[in-house]
Amino acid sequence: MTFINYAAREINCKIVYYGPGLCGKTTNLQYVYDRTNPAAKGKLISLATETDRTLFFDFLPLDLGTVRGFKTRFHLYTVPGQVFYDASRKLILKGVDGVVFVADSQEARMEANVESIRNLDKNLKEQGYDIATIPYVLQFNKRDLPTAVATDEMYRQLNIKGEPTFEATATTGVGVFDTLKAVARQVLMELKKR
């Protein structure tokens, strides 16, 4: 749910990074955090285990500037990717405005990618959203790895509706901002339809 505050002339949107365990959701956020002007970002909050696996969510508030006189603020969240944290994933999808699906390019993780998209579809439905209509972007992460599956093969297996798709290496930042920008664009364009 986009929260538009006309009194403060502010608009808040929630973007969720989804994907299987260890695909690089937190790394995406970390890169955005590292590369953003300190005045434009809040604290990066990570609720993680001692081994740095996301336990509940990561959260990064981002002020992107103004659109049509409204201050635009994006709240970026990640979900815990591991299969058994499904209850937490559902909670984080509440009120979502746009989803980035981070797929792991390694061949051994293709099945996990497919399973995670299926899980996303199911959890969105439970919250009353439809993956076919919600702003949605697909990212093929870890393109730098030698075991990366060819992109057209990944696209064939993971594409749902011809969504914007980006190749990325989140550790070095390749494709990270392109992905974010694409989902932000869709979320803001969605407001136009209201």
Partner 1 sequence: MTAPDLVLYDEEFQRIRDSLQRLRHDANANVVFLVDKNGQQIAAVGDLQSLDTTSLASLTAGNVAATDGLARLIGEKEFSILFHEGEKDNIHISIVAQRVILVVIFDERSSLGLVRLRVRRATTELDKIFEDIAAKVEKEKESLQAEFESPFAEITDEDIDRLFSE
SS3 158: helix
The amino acid at 117: I
How many residues bind to partner 1 according to rule CB under 8 A? 41
Residue 148 or 168 having the CB closest to partner 1: 168
Q: Which of 17, 18, 57, 136 touches partner 1 (CB under 8 A)?
A: 57
The single residue among 22, 114, 174, 191 that binds partner 1, judged by CB under 8 A, is 191
Q: Is the dihedral of CA 111, 127, 54, 25 positive or negative?
A: positive
The reply on whether position 5 binds partner 1 by CB under 8 A is yes
User: Binding partner 1 by CB under 8 A: which of 27, 54, 72, 179?
Assistant: 72
How far apart are alpha carbons 95 and 151 in whole angstroms? 31
Provide the 10 A C-beta neighbour count for residue 59. Answer: 18
List C-alpha distances in Å: 167 to 40, 83, 130, 150.
26, 24, 25, 11
Q: Which of residues 30-49 bind partner 1 (CB under 8 A)?
A: 37, 42-43, 45, 47
The residue among 96, 170, 172 whose CA lies nearest residue 139 is: 170
**Spatial distance between the Cα atoms of 110 and 114, rounded to a whole number of angstroms:** 6
Site string for partner 1, 146-185 (x = CB under 8 A): -------------------------------x---x--xx
List of residues contacting partner 1 (CB under 8 A): 1-7, 12, 14, 37, 42-43, 45, 47, 56-57, 59, 61, 64-65, 67-70, 72, 75, 87-88, 91-92, 94-95, 177, 181, 184-185, 188-189, 191-192, 194
